[in-house]
Amino acid sequence: MDQQIVNAIFIGSIYALFAVGYTLVFGILDILNLAHSAVFMLGAALTYSLVVNHGQPFAVACILGIAASAFMGLVIEYVCLRPLRRRQAPPIAALISTIGLALVIVAAIEQGTSSSIFSWLWVDGANSVAFPAGTVPNPIWHIGDLTLEASKVAIIPITIALMLVLGYVMRYTQVGRGLRAVAENPRAARLMGLDVDRMISLTLVISSALGGLAGIMFGVALGDISPYIGRDNVEVRGLAVIVLGGMGSIPGAVIGGYLLGVVEVLTLVTLGSGASGGVAFAALFLMLVLRPQGLFGTRLRERI
């Protein structure tokens, strides 16, 4: 049981880390960036192949992986979002264009085999791989009947730290104020001399970098890196998390992440494993019905 609590907290951290990038973009652009899961996966995949296929030390690989993810943020903005903003297309259009990009990224990795044009990116095709033992030190501690793996335990402080940093930046720095200004009232922001387009690019860079980092941690801690980890394992749960926490709220995303983690594990323990699959979504559904603005969100009302 207590082991399960540890598990819950750990999963919660992964969810939180993934969802924060997700919710950041929504909070500022009112757009669901469905390419976020693909970036999550790309970060992990790239780091892996840098270590295993290009013989880079893990630290270097991580930095490059995160950098690449951040760059994908720019790609999302310039390819999928900005053209649509220019045409004043509704957010649903952005939904589709980001889905399209996700499709491309996943396909590129999935078809990355030693004989393909993507071999420089990835060679294991649709296979699932893990970092070879030793590339990332992972001592395991047994305390009482508790088992703690370094790679998993590490995620929790990293998550918390990142959230604190992000929270600090958003609240107390000029950039943070700028981002919040763009989120609340782009027009006012423009009048105050903010370059809204640049702020949006920045948002996507930050969000994607976080997504990539989350992917790397996922890959390291779970020993599972495949083209589908983003799409299959975290994307829709990420949605659940940001809705639980309140769309656009960063603390909401963190709390929501841990909440979902705990709820899932508790249902597994009490109601049995079969039910736990659907529980995230039942929670999602109920939350939207009972409290659409989520735990920390603010309700939107239209002026007549």
Which 163-222 residues touch other proteins, going by CB under 8 A? Answer: 174, 177-178, 180-181, 184-188, 190-196, 218, 222
**Least distance in angstroms from the C-beta of 157 to other proteins:** 18
**Least distance in angstroms from the C-beta of 205 to other proteins:** 18
Site for other proteins in 50-69 (CB under 8 A): none
Residue environment code for 48-67, b if the CB has 16+ CB neighbours within 10 A, otherwise e = bbbbbbeebebeebbebbbe
Structure tokens at 303: 């002026």
Contact between 285 and other proteins by CB under 8 A: the answer reads yes
Helix and strand counts by DSSP (H, E) for the chain: 12, 2
CB 227 within 8 Å of CB 45 = yes
Residue (255 or 264) nearer to other proteins, CB: 264
93: left (phi over 0), alpha (psi -120 to 50) or beta: alpha
**Least distance in angstroms from the C-beta of 163 to other proteins:** 19
DSSP state letters, 17-56: HHHHHHHHHHHHHS---TTHHHHHHHHHHHHHHHHHTS--
User: Applying CB under 8 A, which of residues 102, 162, 204, 217 lies at the interface with other proteins?
Assistant: 102
**Pick from 237, 56, 229: nearest CA to 126:** 229
Contact between 72 and other proteins by CB under 8 A: the answer reads no
Cα–Cα distance list, 191 to 21, 82, 182, 196, 301 (Å): 27, 20, 11, 10, 24
**Least distance in angstroms from the C-beta of 120 to other proteins:** 15
User: Applying CB under 8 A, which of residues 142, 143, 144, 270 lies at the interface with other proteins?
Assistant: 142
Number of residues near other proteins (by CB under 8 A):
110
User: Applying CB under 8 A, which of residues 56, 111, 119, 135 lies at the interface with other proteins?
Assistant: 111
Residue (108 or 202) nearer to other proteins, CB: 108
Structure tokens at 114: 């030693």
Q: What is the DSSP letter of 124?
A: B
Residues 6+ apart with CB under 8 A from 44: 65, 212, 215, 216, 218, 219, 225, 229
Contact between 71 and other proteins by CB under 8 A: the answer reads no
User: Applying CB under 8 A, which of residues 96, 161, 164, 165 lies at the interface with other proteins?
Assistant: 96
Contact between 120 and other proteins by CB under 8 A: the answer reads no
Contact between 135 and other proteins by CB under 8 A: the answer reads no
Structure tokens at 52: 């295993």
Site for other proteins in 12-51 (CB under 8 A): 14-15, 30, 32
**Least distance in angstroms from the C-beta of 290 to other proteins:** 9
Site for other proteins in 247-276 (CB under 8 A): 247, 264-265, 268-269, 273-276
Residue (57 or 292) nearer to other proteins, CB: 292
How many Å is the maximal CA-CA distance in the chain? 63
Q: Pseudo-torsion of CA 26, 17, 208, 182, nearest 10°?
A: 30
User: Applying CB under 8 A, which of residues 74, 95, 154, 156 lies at the interface with other proteins?
Assistant: 95
